[in-house]
Structure formats: C-alpha cells, structure tokens
Structure 1
Amino acid sequence: MLQLIRDKSSSKVFYITLLVLMTGGLLVFGIGDYSFGGATTYVAKVGKEIITEQDFQQRFDEQRRQMRTMMRDAYQPKMFETPEFKRQLLDQLIDEALIQQAGAAAGLAVTDTRLQAEIAKIEAFQVNGKFDQDRYQLALRGSGFSPRQFEARMRRDMAVKELPAQLAASALVTTGDANNFVRLRDQTRDFRYLALPQSVLADAVVSADDEQKYFAAHAADYVTPEQVAVEYVELDGAALAPAAAPSEADLRSRYAAQAARFGTKEQRLASHILVEVAAGADAATQKSALQKAETLAAELAAGKDFAELAKASSADAGTRAAGGDLGWIEAGIMEPAFEQALLALKPGEVSAPVRTEQGYHLILLREVKPAATKSFEEVRAQLETEFAQEQHNEKLADLQDKLFTVADQANGTLEPLAKAIGGTVQTTPLFSQDVGFGIAMFPEIRAAAFSLEVKTDGLSSEPIEVSKDRMVVIRLAQHKPATPRAFDAVKPEVHALLLSERQQKANREAADAALKRLLGGETLEAIAASLGATVSEGKAVGRQGLNQDRQLLAEVFKMPRPQAGGTIHGLAEVAGKKFALLELQAVHDADPKALDAAAQTAVRDQLRQELSALESAALRKALRARTKIEVNEDRL
C-alpha cells in the first residue's frame, strides 16, 4: 500500500481541511481552509496549490483558542508568536495537503453513503441521541454554512484521515517482531552501585571578589520586573441573578410551538456492501460491477453472513471493518435511490443491487425504530431549563451590549461603566507581565495591562473575554518601572549560586577519579571503604523498577550486555546532581510465552501503531522530496 501511494504521489490534488468549532450546537471537525481563487499572496505553495495568508491565520487563531482552552491559567499568548511555532504550524498544513494529494492519487475517496452516516453520528445534530434534520439545518445556519458547503468541507476533512487509516491497516507485525519487543521491554538486569558522597566545600571558596565579578557580568538577571496595578469592571454571567420561573401557560405554549423538537422520526439500522464503480464508467465496467454485486447477493441468499462478506468484499473503507455498519439512518440523509430501497425493506431483508453515484450497494435492514413524540410532562424539566437559560442569555447579551457601548466612551474613569451594568470598580495589587493574582492571573488581562493603549496612553481597554460569559474592562491605576536590585540585596543568591556551581564541579571531578579507580581494577567495596560509603544492589530490576533512581536505572539499561561471568562498569549522574558508580552483572531477557493472549494482542497493536507512524513519516518525507514546495517566511 505504501509503495503504491509513493509511486502515485506525483499527482497533485487540492486539499482542504476545516475546523468548525461548535459548542452547544457546534462541533470540531478539522482545521484550516484552502482555496484556489482570488489569492494574490500566499504563505506556501504545495505543487500547484496554495496556502494563503488567510488560511494560515485561520489555523493559527484556532490553534491558539484550543491551547487557551487546554492550558487555562497557564496560557501565555507570546508562546505562540515565535517563528518556530508558526513554522511548525505551516509544516502541519503542508503535510496535510501532501497527504490529501497522495490519497487522491491512490484512489482513496469518501463515499456519499459514508459521509452521510458520519454526519448522522455528530451529537451537535442530534436530539435525544438521534440525528435531527431540523437541528442540522439550524446549526449550519448559525455557523454560516449551507449544507452543501459543510458536507464538502467535512468530506475533505475525512479524506485527509483516510490515508493514515489505510497505512495503519497495512502495517504488518510478525510474531517474531512481537517476541523480540517483549524480550527487550520486559528485560531485567542485576547490578550493583555505589552512591558517591558529595564533596564538602567551605563558603570561603567563593570570595567577595568572585561575587562582585559575577554580579557585574549578570546584572540584567537581577532586576525587579516592571509592574502595574489596574482598576477594572467585571461582567460575569455566572454571577447574574436567576430568572423568574415561567408560568404553566408559558411552558405549554412553548411545548405546542416546538412539539416537533420532542419527536423522533422513524430510524432504520442499516449495513451495506459497496461495489464501487464511477458514475461515468463505460457500459462494460458498469456491467462487471453489477455482476459482482449480484454474485455477492447470491452468496447472501445462500446463507453467507452479511458482516463477514462486507469485511471481505465492500469497497467502502470507512464501514468495511465494522461489517458495513451505517448506524441509524433517518429519511433525508442518504441518496434518493439508496433511501428508497432502504425504506422498502423489512427487518432482516437485503436489497437487490442499488445504483448510486458510488456504485452498487447491497443494503441490509437490521432494525426499525418507529417515530415517537414525548409528552409535555416528560419534557417539562427541559422546557424550564431552556426558558431559564434563554432569560439568562438575553440579560447577559443586554449587559454585554452596554459594556461595549459605554467602554468605548469611557474617559478617565470606569465609574459610568460600572453603573451601566450594575457592577463596581475594583483595583488589583501590583503584578508583572508574567505573574498576577486575582483577575490578573488571566494572561489576556496582563497582556492588555502592559499594552501601549493602557499602560502608556492611559486609555481604558476594550472588553476582554477571559472565559465563557466573563468579560473585563481595565484601566491603569499604578505603574512601577523595572528597577535594578542592589548588590547587597542579591549577594546571598549570588554566593549560593557560585558555591553550587563549584560544588558540582568538585563532585564531577571526584566521580571521574572514582570511575578511573574502578576501571583500573579496584572493587566497589574497596572504593566504598575508602569513602566511608556502602555498596547497594538491584536484582532482576526492570526498566520501570520501583524504589530505584530513574536516572541511575536509565544508565543501567544503556550499558552493553556483559559476557558470561563478567561485569560492565560505568558512571551515572543521579537525582540531586550526585553521582554513582555502576557495575552491571547480568541481563535477563523476558519470555514472550509468559504473556496471555490479550497481552500478546496488545503488544502487536502497539507495534502496529508505531510502525504505521514510521510509515507515515516516511511517506511525508518522500512526498516532500518529490513535490515542489515554496514557503514565504515573511508572510507568517
């Protein structure tokens, strides 16, 4: 499979992938958006296709939002402004484009049937765990997409995942590979070691002149950072008073108007087998595909298991491994011909070959769920919750509008803003660009506080969103410039640092001398006796051995296998910048036969994943080597 793709990867097919964030009605599908038309500038060109500045900026913004959500208080915007991060992000976009092109060249495609089945599984488009066409249309309108646009972009996102999936499926791990891995992974070792005592240095080894010279050379390291304090007004949606409870009449009116929401359409649990043939194929090719479908239908009629036949014969890579399972399907999801055939079936029946744009399908109807509607009492609690949320959202939106309007007019004080939203003006303690407490713990607040507009021009900030439904406007209250620290104030720190450096140097010299003695023929016991220390040992210790220093253990497992009856000696730097002499006595390989069947399967799966990752990396390298790639660094 890999060689086939490498052979065909000179073909250039345009790649698009998208990140649509859909929280509370929207869901993540992909990242980025590539386009052909109208771009006069680009950050990269992959073959004949371009990645525009807009494409890159969209991915960059999405990555920052994702990292902000993941890192929360630890998020630092400047971490993502580095040239290294931006280039890494661009390389990711280039790799995705290359992989999409290679997949298309190898004939990999996402069928309409699979696409519609995947859409039906998305929670954002479901009501009570089932796909809802109205919810689907509403969610797309809210995100600014037509169904055609969304489905095209989702198809591309799925396509870019198809090739790695095929590589993973083609990765071959033999029993010998798995056994060798187990022998090494579970290997144990016998060893002895001598933890060397630290050298003891007197304070006098660091002179006053040493301290002065070090401080003069590193004065920039001993500065009290610039600090500010800000006044702020905060609008926190979580702190708003709850809305009044709705009346019985309001709830029943809402139920009557939205009854369709609480109903489920008939759903059909289906599987299929696809015999692929292009819509424009010649008559002979279409006839051959039909004959193959009819042959498969005959095998099913003779008692062949549908799922097993799908795994062996279906051309739909997305459902083949699951025996052709398409999940629960509602009317309006599939192509008309497919849907018509599915609706005509009874549970347990298999259709005759059905022609669609992808080819011929054999469809198995496994189960039917009839349409149903929940009663008012069943959804009362949901209606009450939604009513309260709507009231909360309306109130919050009104206050946010006031926040933006008044903040834009604020001049010299935040009091009018506080009055407009029913809040108060508060003041933070001093904080630096890197560390703050209270509201200043948010990186966005610190970045705004040290901005030109707030710190230098004395203006109020724009409303800053620090978390969902929580916004803050700040204004400078106090500024304290960075100030050098006096030598007398930092003298203890300088002394301790220099003493530590010389202590470490002395420890290293003593350790090297001890290792020389060991390699010269002295025993660990003799060296230990001269140093007033003791020798310790480890018997049958594995790579993850408990009660052993991690650095020491890592060095033990780097040492070569000793000859029978012999030993290998070495030196390890261990925790606390200390050292230990090592003596490796024996290596015991694990017995793969000791693993049960489940553990053996887990090993093969692990190796298969690692092998597919290596193959993917090799593929990307090969594609980059044969594809012309232009990068404009100045546009990142």
Structure 2
Amino acid sequence: MLQAMRNKMHGWPSIIVLGVCVFAVAFFGIEGYIMSRAETFVAKVGKHEISQQDFQDRMNQLRQQLSAEQGDSFDPDAFEKPEMKLKVLDGMIDQQLLLKANQDWGIRVPDQAVRDYIAAIPAFQINGQFDPATYRTLLAEQRKTPDMFQDDVRASLSTQALPNAIDASTIVTDAEIDHFLDLRMQRRDISYAVLPRPQPADATVTDTQIADYYKAHLADYMNPEQVSLQYLEVNGADLKPDAAPSDADLMKRYESEKQRYVQPEQREVSHILVNVPANATPEQQKAALAKADKIAAEATPENFAKLAAQDSDDLGSKRQGGDLGWLQKGVTNAAFDTVMFALKKGEISKPVLTPDGYDILWLRDTRSGEAKSFAEVRDQLLAEATAGDKDRKYNEVAGKLSDSAYQNPSSLEPAAQALGLSVKTTALFSRQGGEGIAANPKVTKAAFANDVLVQGNNSNLIELGNDDAVVIRVAKHVPAAAKPLAQVHDEIGKTILDQRIAAAAKQQADTLLARLQKGEALAAVAASANAGIKSANEVVRIQADVPAALRDEAFLLPHPAEGKPQYAAVDMHDGSYALLAVDKVQGADLSKVTPEQRNMLRQQMIQAYGAVATQELIKSLRNSTEIKIAKDRM
C-alpha cells in the first residue's frame, strides 16, 4: 500500500499536502493524533496546575484541623458545600500566586530558616530541645522523608515571605497612632434620663384578640418535634485487650523498629554566614568570598562567638554566637554536611559555598552514634503495644457493631447479642439536642436524618470521640404540634400588652425628643415625664457603668456646638426608652498611653495595614495571571 501511495504522490500539489502533514505532526506532536489529553486539574494558575489530589489533601488537612479544634461542634457537612470548596481553592490559588511572585522576584527561604522552624516544632522536641530520633520517627509514621517534610515547610514559609516583607516595609507614623488613639479613646460628657414605661391607652386584652393573635402567630407556639433513641455504645475505655504482650513479642517489635532507638552520630557546630544575594553578580560573589576569607583567617575558638555576633548574616543564630546546636547528617544541605563531618573537634573550616552563601564552620564537639538496649526501652514498648492492642480491640468491636447494624437495619438486638452490649435509651429531645449522647451534635443530626427518622433504619457508626462510638435508632417520634390555646392564653395576653406599652413608650420618647430639639431644657422635659437625670463625664467607648445602648448612641451623635447639646431618643431594649444628651466632646488623653501600649498598637496597625497591602498585591497578581477553575472537578 505504501508503494502505491508513493507512486501516486507526484507533482507540487502532493508536495504541499505532505508538507502540511509534516508541519502539523511536528508542531502538535504525533500523540495528539492517537490520543487526547484528559485535563484533571481543579485550577490552573498560569502554567501551574492544582491537581484534584492536591485539592483533596488540603480539604482533608483543614477538615482534620477544624475537627480537632471544634470537637463535638464540628460539622463535617460544611466541607461538602460549594462555597466552602471554592474558599479553600481560592486560598490555594493565592498561595501559588505568592510562590510564583517569589520565584519571579528572586525571593527564597534560606535553609537556616527551614531548620530553625523545624527545630522549634514542639512535637520534635524532648525537654525543650530538638531531638533528631523523634523527628525521624514521627516523619516515618507519616510516610515522609526529611527532604519531603523540609520541602513542605519551605513551601509554607515561602507563602509568608512576601507578606512578611510587606509587613517589614510598612511604616506607621506617630501621627497615625495619635489619630487612631484620639478616635478610640475619645471622651464625651453625657446626660440621660430613663423614662418610666407608660400605661397603654387600652389595657384590656380580650379573648378574641388573643385568639386572633394565636392564629396569626401559630408558628411561635409550637411544641418542637422530638425523638427518643435506642443506642449501642462501644467505648475503648471499657474494653480489655485479649492478653498482655510477652517479652518475646516485645523483642520482636524492638528488632523490627530498632532504627527508632538508634542515636545517630552528631556534631555540635557554630557557624558564620556571609550571605550571597540571589542572582548575585560575579563582583558580589567575589566580595562575599573575600569577606568570608577574612573572617575565617581571623577566627579562633576563643573569638568565634564574638565574630558571629558581629559579622554573621544568619539572624537566627548570630545572637547565640553562631551556635546551631547538635546536628546530624541530612539536617543541613550536602555541602554543609560534607565539611561538618570532615572537621576534627575544635577545627574551624575555610569558607564553604552553600545555597545561603559562604559558611564558616567551627566544630565544637562530637557525639558518636549509639543504640538503646531492649531493657532500656522495654517499658516504652510495652506501653505502645498495650495501647495498640487496645486500639485494635476497639476497632474490631466497633467494626463488628457497624456491620451488624447495617445487616440488620430494623433492630439493634442482633448486634447487642453478638457483642454482649446493652441497648440503652435516651429521653425525648428536639433538634436542639438533649442530655447524654443527645448533647452531641453528630448524634442529633443523625437522629433527625431521613434514613433514621423517616425510614426507620439504624444509623451508621457515629464517632463521639477517641475510641468512643454509637449506633442509634429512633425509639419514639413525637411530631411538632401547636400548643393548645388554653396553655398559652396568658402568655399571649402579656405579649399583646407589652407590644402596646412599647408602642406607647416610643411615641412618648419621640414626643419628648421633639420638645428637646425645639429648645426646651432636658431637666424640664425629663421632669414632665417623672424621670430623673444622670450625668457622666469623659465617657469612653468601653465603659461598664454606662448602659451599652446609651454609650453606643452617644458616639454616633455629631459633635455638639457650644451650649447646644445633641439629643437622641434611645431604645433600651427592655421595653423602655431614654432621652440622651451629648454635652461635650474631647479628644483622647494621650498622656495616659504608655510606650508599651503605643508599641503594641503600632505592631497591630502594621499587621493590619500589611494584610490590606498583601490582599491588594494578590488582587493585582490575579488580574495579571490567567486562572482557570474547573468547578465540576472540585
């Protein structure tokens, strides 16, 4: 067939057709003709794709974080709402925009900053000091290598690099602080009179009026829908392991996890860093090396700490004389590691080029690797094995309870008999919850869910806490129903009367306010309503001895002119009203503000201004970057 095609391919038309085909294949790639590329990203920020896996990982992290913080009040369904998913994705997009800006503008996180951050994490410390063995063990449990975790930390710190730089460059002047304090601590002299509640024009409420009100507001007089539950509970605290682990079992565990108990070879190191800027010119590199050579030539064990405090560009260690503490292989970069483990105790290195610049190392001490014996860690192994057995026992029983309740959806008795559990019952409770397990929002939500309440099925396993779970079913259902009129008759009568009094009180206050605004004195107007006058001078925005409603209104009124107070009628939110007069306004007494308070306020204002500037930067980056969002893949 190919020969036949060749025989027919003659002349310039054929050459043109062949040329077009060759160009298309070369330009688009032959795979474009034999397969189509399925796009799987949730969002695309410029050329960077946020994958579905990345998005789900972030959702899971936030879900676990909020669950730990909120406990029983945590609502997992919130993460299924489109607006929550979009909010999380927007945050990931903002982070990627900041990372790309870092890359474009040459901003990077130094290795030392990553090391300092990791060393400060309490989970990796023993007695307040970073412990490498604990670090490796915890990472192994999360199936991460130190390099993977350091990359995660670097990415997290990178998203803060620009905001931190913005904060550092934000200037808040003394005048701005004074202006804020002048508003925040402004003082006002006020007078006020709380008016007695008037009697309504009609103090009689008839049965007909009560019946009409009852019909018009029936929803306000309903007994709520209620249920009582049957439930089976599995609590890990009540479960006993089948048998205690033997020494042979513990020894087997020790041998399989021996790496956990090995203390690697370590070096106690101090260093002096001469920073080399990102994208440094050859002249800058030479200048940095010359400076490092000079420091190295002068350095001795006796003056090393002084030189570090004086010349080191590592802000994290220079205050400690360059001390980095005890380090092991893999914690620092490869170049640093090589020199650190090549030095002899007491030696000072020549400058070594690392990603941060030129490092001068002083090896102060060494610690050989060692392993803890089985006897030293037996108690720890026993505690871990016992806890593990207890967890397995709980998971086994909870799993069987879940399976049995699912296989027998109309009753809890089969599961109770199979597992030796007792069926317990709750009192009636509404959708607002009740007592015992009904106080848990997860239980309340499940109790009123369609499959449990309407279809009459057992619930899924509901986790109440660590190693504590229940399965529920509805034992009794009481639908919502209107309370009998006779039961709420007097309550409705009082409500109608209170509404009449409130309307009369407002009318009275408005009438008296009109008299004040026409020029009558507050004393005369208040006296006509049998109300006494109270005064308070230099009232500030937060002042406990002045009713909140009056205080809030006082700071909304305009400044008064000399001898002409500003007036208002104020709803006291208890059915009464007050007449308010603002007589005088003064600025803050700045002499009462301590230097410490001013510095604290300055930092708060810097953070607030910096946050606004960061959001403006992100907005600008969004406008200049092509962003695609695939909502159907969220």
TM over 0.5: yes
* Secondary structure in 1 matching 2:228: strand
In structure 2, the residue matched to 1:104 is 103
* 1:276 partnered with 2:276: yes
Maintained 8 Å contact 2:232/2:424: yes
Equivalent-residue separation in structure 1 for 2:132 and 2:516 (angstroms)? 77
Output one character per residue of 1:216-242: Cα deviation in whole Å (capped at 9) or x when no partner: 444445444433333211111123358
Equivalent-residue separation in structure 2 for 1:597 and 1:349 (angstroms)? 47
Correspondence 1:52-71 to 2 at 5 A: 55-71=54-70
Distance 1:594 1:532, change over 3 A: closer
* CA deviation after TM superposition for structure 1 residue 518, in Å: 1.6
* CA deviation after TM superposition for structure 1 residue 148, in Å: 4.3
Maintained 8 Å contact 1:272/1:326: no
In structure 1, the residue matched to 2:190 is 191
Paired letter, 2:599 = T
In structure 1, the residue matched to 2:449 is 451
* Secondary structure in 1 matching 2:429: coil
* CA deviation after TM superposition for structure 1 residue 372, in Å: 7.7
* 1:119 partnered with 2:121: no
Output one character per residue of 1:507-534: Cα deviation in whole Å (capped at 9) or x when no partner: 3332222222222111111111111111
Correspondence 1:189-268 to 2 at 5 A: 189-201=188-200, 204=203, 208=207, 211-241=210-240, 261=260, 264-265=263-264, 266=266, 268=268
Maintained 8 Å contact 2:267/2:366: yes
Distance 1:594 1:414, change over 3 A: closer
Maintained 8 Å contact 2:190/2:535: yes
* CA deviation after TM superposition for structure 1 residue 488, in Å: 4.4
Pick which of 377-386 and 58-67 moved more: 377-386
Q: Any unmatched runs of 5+ in structure 1? A: 1-36
Q: Could you tell me which of 531, 534, 546 is aligned with 2:532?
A: 534
* Secondary structure in 1 matching 2:446: helix
RMSD after superposition: 4.2
Equivalent-residue separation in structure 1 for 2:65 and 2:517 (angstroms)? 54
Output one character per residue of 1:566-613: Cα deviation in whole Å (capped at 9) or x when no partner: 533334333535433222233343344444443332232222222222
In structure 2, the residue matched to 1:432 is 430
Maintained 8 Å contact 1:117/1:327: no
Paired letter, 2:549 = Q
* CA deviation after TM superposition for structure 1 residue 194, in Å: 1.6
Correspondence 1:480-559 to 2 at 5 A: 480-559=478-557
Paired letter, 1:481 = P
Distance 1:297 1:635, change over 3 A: same
Correspondence 1:329-344 to 2 at 5 A: 329-343=327-341
- TM-score, length-scaled by structure 2: 0.78
Equivalent-residue separation in structure 2 for 1:344 and 1:169 (angstroms)? 39
Correspondence 1:614-629 to 2 at 5 A: 614-629=612-627
Equivalent-residue separation in structure 1 for 2:493 and 2:75 (angstroms)? 33
Equivalent-residue separation in structure 2 for 1:537 and 1:347 (angstroms)? 78
Paired letter, 1:601 = N
**Larger Rg over CA atoms:** 2
Distance 1:300 1:420, change over 3 A: farther
Q: Could you tell me which of 609, 612, 615 is aligned with 1:611?
A: 609
Paired letter, 1:468 = N
Q: When the two structures are aligned, how many residues end up with a matched partner?
A: 595
* Secondary structure in 2 matching 1:570: strand
In structure 1, the residue matched to 2:391 is 393
Output one character per residue of 1:186-234: Cα deviation in whole Å (capped at 9) or x when no partner: 3333222222223333774665555555544444454444333332111
Distance 1:269 1:445, change over 3 A: farther
In structure 2, the residue matched to 1:31 is none
In structure 1, the residue matched to 2:160 is 161
Distance 1:296 1:499, change over 3 A: farther
* CA deviation after TM superposition for structure 1 residue 183, in Å: 3.5
Equivalent-residue separation in structure 2 for 1:489 and 1:80 (angstroms)? 43
In structure 1, the residue matched to 2:308 is 306
Maintained 8 Å contact 2:433/2:440: no
Paired letter, 2:229 = V
Paired letter, 2:197 = Q
Maintained 8 Å contact 1:214/1:494: yes
* CA deviation after TM superposition for structure 1 residue 377, in Å: 8.9
Correspondence 1:321-400 to 2 at 5 A: 328-343=326-341, 351-363=349-361, 382=380, 385-400=383-398
Output one character per residue of 1:261-320: Cα deviation in whole Å (capped at 9) or x when no partner: 567554536455352356x9886664454345446667978986524544xx45x8x879
Distance 1:104 1:457, change over 3 A: same
* Secondary structure in 2 matching 1:448: helix
Maintained 8 Å contact 2:276/2:285: no
Pick which of 470-479 and 269-278 moved more: 269-278
Pick which of 39-48 and 292-301 moved more: 292-301
Maintained 8 Å contact 2:225/2:480: yes
Q: Any unmatched runs of 5+ in structure 2? A: 1-35
Equivalent-residue separation in structure 2 for 1:451 and 1:524 (angstroms)? 60
In structure 1, the residue matched to 2:4 is none
- TM-score, length-scaled by structure 1: 0.78
* Secondary structure in 2 matching 1:160: helix
Q: Could you tell me which of 471, 474, 494 is aligned with 2:472?
A: 474
